[in-house]
Amino acid sequence: MKKPRVTFKMKRIAEDDWQILAECPGVETKIIKGLKSKAEVDEWLNGSRRLDWLRSQGYAK
């Protein structure tokens, strides 16, 4: 069975408060908080933290 695809969207809340919205069909949207800049969001999305998060949620091996 194919795993559902997770879509990530960045969202700026304030000057130094950024979030990542993790959307997956059929599941409530999850919010990754505690990011301080767009550069930190980009690093999260393009680095190992994204894969670590997917693994912790059961979306990746």
Residue-wise pLDDT for 24-46, tens only, equals 988 999 999 999 999 999 999 99
∠ CA 2-33-4, nearest 5°, is: 5
| 1 part of a folded domain | no
More confident residue, 16 or 1: 16
| 2 part of a folded domain | no
The two tokens of residue 41 are 């969001």
Angstrom distance (rounded) from CA 11 to CA 41: 9
Q: Domain of residue 47: give its range.
A: 7-57
The chain-wide mean pLDDT, for the chain, equals: 93
Please report where in the chains the tokens 């919010």 appear, as a residue: 31
pLDDT value at position 60?
87
DSSP 3-state helix, strand, coil percentages of the chain (rounded to 5)? 30, 40, 30
Total domains, the chain: 1
| 34 part of a folded domain | yes
| 17 part of a folded domain | yes
| 23 part of a folded domain | yes
